[in-house]
Amino acid sequence: MKFKFLSVCFLFNLLAIEAQVHIGPGQTYSSIQLAVNNNAVKPGDTVYLHAGNYAAYQLISNLNGNSTNWITITRFHNDSIEISGGWQFVSCTYLHFTNLNFRANVNFPGRLFSIDNGGSCATQSKFIRVDHCSFSNVTASSATVAFKFAGVDLFEVSNNTFKDIPACEAMSFNTCHQGLIRGNRFENCLSGGHIKGGSSDITMMQNLFINASKAPWVAYELGGDTGAAFYCPGDTFEVRDINFFSNIIVNSYRGLALSSAKHCKVINNTFYNCEQATMRFLTTSSLYPALSDNFVENNIFSFGSTAYFNGGVQFKTAVNFSNNIYYSILSAVFNGPYWDTPELDLIKDRNPKNFGATTAMFVDGFKHDFNLIKQSPAIASGKHQSDPVFDFFGKPFSGAARSIGAIEYDEITIEGKLGPTLIQIYPNPVVDRVYIKGIEGSEFVRVEIIDLQGNLAFETSAIATFLQQGILLLKSKSDYLY
């Protein structure tokens, strides 16, 4: 039997010539704004920030890469950098921000990062990616939010950390379309944030919220209220077609709010021990107030001392509940949460799956291990869905009978089948490195190592089956020692 080994490497276009622009102490340019203003940054360039503190407001307009030559902004090697003062990018395209550390301080306690359209829907920022960055320590309530997209289309915000943001929201999206918000961690925040202002076609998946809201805020809000001047033409809704998939919300004051939302899907999430309302259903928008045609399905709602669903008066068509588990972690006998009455009478779940604390549900919910224990009633009892395809950890949900909650049940093995493909992972236990071996012809799209708290420890991707014959350039890079 022939095997093909997948090494930690990336394939690069041999013909691509990358220019480097170096920023920081002792470099040609002391700031990114200075480099851009001097036309030093071109499509395809990588902007490297060298070790140092970058403490100043930076305004950058009309910085554009293109579809084959993105502009990358990152730290140089393993250099320690700290950015404060606020970076604002206006009407920009094809930008990739990665491995950057944004941290507010006493001198600059406010907003850290924003991308917008300059006040016009005709000049939306587009094709923006922000990944593996950290945003922390914002203490100025005047900031309103630490990270803001306002007028951004075709974007991805993934694998970032938002931590210790006690005075404002962590992340907001206004007037944004066609985006992915994936694998982010929100911890110790006033609120995780919101999506509103005519935003649509955005998926939030595999995000972790820990202590992500304080009274009276929610961990995240789909919808809100936006002034008429901020909507783009044709956006006759507050939010529409927002997917909230495979997320985990733990120990927040309030969980998730649907606020004047249309056709949004809240599917296969796990909520655990919210202090007040686990979900809210609101008609907050002054222009488009009604909730309509939303779906809440295959979720586990785990309650501590409070089991509560809150909201204003809703029509029957506002929200459709189906196949959710309502689980008390304290009470042995549990008849379900309290729903505001009569406000929520028409949308209240008619067929709840109620379980008390004596029911085995998670491996260890108290320690935030929300893997399903073997006896869990959530296993293979979910409603069939085409989406989400992947659970919180990136494992495929069972096509035949998916589980309820954010994590698909999976007996941990060292050798398993992925459809017709066999892989082997060894040694077990791991000492200093792990090997992944697959049968000839197998295709690995992505490999991730994730701890039980949802932190991404390592990630790489490669296509192993469709490599052309001949000499190929392999390049590996890591910020860690393995």
- Torsion on CA atoms 307, 308, 309, 311, rounded to nearest 10: -170
Percent of the chain with pLDDT over 70: 81
> How many of the other CB atoms lie within 10 Å of CB of 401?
13
Give, for all 482 residues of the chain, the pLDDT tens digit: 333 333 333 333 433 456 999 999 999 999 999 999 999 999 999 999 999 999 999 999 999 999 999 999 999 999 999 999 999 999 999 999 999 999 999 999 999 999 999 999 999 999 999 999 999 999 999 999 999 999 999 999 999 999 999 999 999 999 999 999 999 999 999 999 999 999 999 999 999 999 999 999 999 999 999 999 999 999 999 999 999 999 999 999 999 999 999 999 999 999 999 999 999 999 999 999 999 999 999 999 999 999 999 999 999 999 999 999 999 999 999 999 999 999 999 999 999 999 999 999 999 999 999 999 999 999 999 999 999 999 999 999 998 899 999 999 986 534 444 444 455 565 555 544 555 555 444 444 456 666 665 556 655 544 343 344 455 554 444 433 32
Tokens found for residue 266: 């809240």
Positive or negative, the Cα torsion across 200, 263, 339, 330?
negative
CATH 2.160.20.10 for domain 109-410: yes
By DSSP bridging, strand 415-418 and strand 421-426 are: antiparallel
Alpha carbon distance 478, 43 (integer Å): 24
Whole-angstrom CA distances from 25 to 29, 35, 40, 47, 49 are 8, 13, 17, 14, 9
Q: Can you list the positions of beta strands (E) in 291-446?
A: 294-297, 300-303, 308-311, 319-322, 325-328, 338-339, 353-355, 362-364, 369-372, 415-418, 421-426, 435-439
Contact 164, 140 (CB under 8 A): no
Domain residue spans of the chain: 109-410
> How many of the other CB atoms lie within 10 Å of CB of 70?
18
Alpha carbon distance 294, 314 (integer Å): 12
Helices (H) and strands (E) in the chain, counts: 1, 44
Contact 336, 361 (CB under 8 A): no
DSSP assigned state of 144: S
Look up residue 18 and give its amino acid: E
Alpha carbon distance 111, 103 (integer Å): 10
Whose tokens are 């304290």? That residue is 330
Peptide bond into 233 cis (omega under 30): no
The helix/strand/coil state of 196 is strand
Whole-angstrom CA distances from 149 to 287, 429, 446 are 21, 43, 28
What are the pLDDT digits (tens) for 145-192? 999 999 999 999 999 999 999 999 999 999 999 999 999 999 999 999
Cα angle, residue 136 at apex, residues 130 and 139 outer, rounded to 5°: 130
Whose tokens are 């783009």? That residue is 232
